[in-house]
Amino acid sequence: MDFLDDLHIAELGPIIWLQSWPDAVRPVLELVSVLGTDTFFLLCLPVLYWCVNPALALRLGLTVLLAAATNAIGKLIAHQPRPYWIDSRIRPLSVETAFGLPSGHAQIGTAGVGRIAGMAGRPWAWWAAGTVVGLVCLSRVYLGVHFISDVVAGVLLGLAVLLVVHRFERPATDWWRGQALWAQLAASAVLSGALIGAAALANAPYAGWAPPRSWSWAGAIDPESLDTVVTMAGMLLGTLAGTSVMYRLGWFDAGGRLGVRALRWVIGTGVALLIWYAEREVLPQTPAGTYAGFALLTLWVQAGAPMLFIRLGLMNRAREPQPVHQGR
């Protein structure tokens, strides 16, 4: 890793220069940074899923999950620091406990807004997506949490995710729909477990590793934690299983009057918040508890809420099940 060490030292100068900009830019770039988080996309997706177009929401959600999961594993493989961890001249305008390479905001932002641009299918959408990704990358370097090489790697991996999705989404969807429900549920569990297994394997070569003394500026960090991967694995299980169940039940129509759609969002979000609260306050704060809590949360979003809405008369069943790759 000597090359990366030398590269990081060379990249400190540009970060220091960016942080010399007027403080007025800080709140703007902090806001822009949010656009590259998996949390931002995952909070917006229920609105799209329950109230606009469930097939498109599912496609976007799985893309973001793939980007977030591979990013978390990539960080464990690389085991690289963040700028403020190694140099006291870098101000930690945001605090992070995970490794830095590749940038999650850059990778997730590229995959997420790139997928939206692909759905729009217009040149202006791609220009807008590129602008958003560029600003997200700038914000992460300015905040002192990423080197330029981190965000470049994140963008490249985000583009790789988009290419994989473009190539394999249709055949994978066709194969999935051709399986029995029990096989779909089993495959959901296997894929979810494989994600955790891949993260554990990524950490395996670093057995006994401890942060170098030169990272003393990092403060309290836990970069080898698998918490993020466990969360993503639980969400993957809930998403795939919930979608499979909902598809077998006949899918649903997300249309209706604006007031009805708003009521769906209020009810669905209220229950989701209760599940989230239970995951934090009731379930044991262990990997198993986290996994179960987020699996239940996404299962509610994908299947529980639509079934409740149908029963309450707030949503109609679809005339025909909608394929996940609808619109391509």
At residue 204, the pLDDT reads 93
Please indicate, yes or no, if residue 3 is contained in any of the structural domains.
no
2 domain residue, yes or no: no
**pLDDT at position 121:** 84
Do 239 and 61 touch, CB atoms closer than 8 A?
A: yes
- How many structural domains comprise the chain? 1
- Average pLDDT of adjacent 10-residue blocks, the chain of 328 residues: 82 95 93 83 86 92 94 95 94 92 95 92 92 96 96 97 95 94 96 96 92 86 91 95 93 92 94 86 82 93 95 84 46
Q: Domain range for residue 33?
A: 12-204+211-317
Tell me, yes or no, whether 297 lies in a domain. Answer: yes
Our CA dihedral for 197, 234, 211, 103, rounded to 10 degrees, sits at: 100
CB-based contact 28:164 (threshold 8 Å): no
d(CA 327, CA 320): 15
Question: Locate tokens 């997730």: which residue?
Answer: 108
Q: Confirm whether 1 is domain-assigned.
A: no
Nearest CA among 51, 183, 33 for reference residue 108: 33
Report how far residue 130's alpha carbon sits from residue 113's, in angstroms, rounded to the nearest whole number: 8
d(CA 276, CA 180) in angstroms, rounded, equals: 31
Half-sphere exposure of 225 (CA within 13 A, CB side): 12
Residue 1 confidence (pLDDT): 56
pLDDT of residue 319: 61
Tell me, yes or no, whether 69 lies in a domain: yes
Q: What residues have CB less than 8 Å from 155, skipping those under 6 apart?
A: 106, 107, 110, 133, 137
Give, as one character, the DSSP assignment of residue 164: H
Separation CA 244–CA 35 (nearest Å): 29
7 assigned to some structural domain: no
144, part of any domain: yes
What are phi and psi for residue 316, nearest 5 degrees?
Answer: -105, 150
Residue 145, classed as helix, strand or coil, is coil
Q: Where are the beta strands (DSSP E) in the chain?
A: 252-253, 316-317
* Residue 306 falls inside a structural domain: yes
Beta-bridge mates of residue 252 = 317
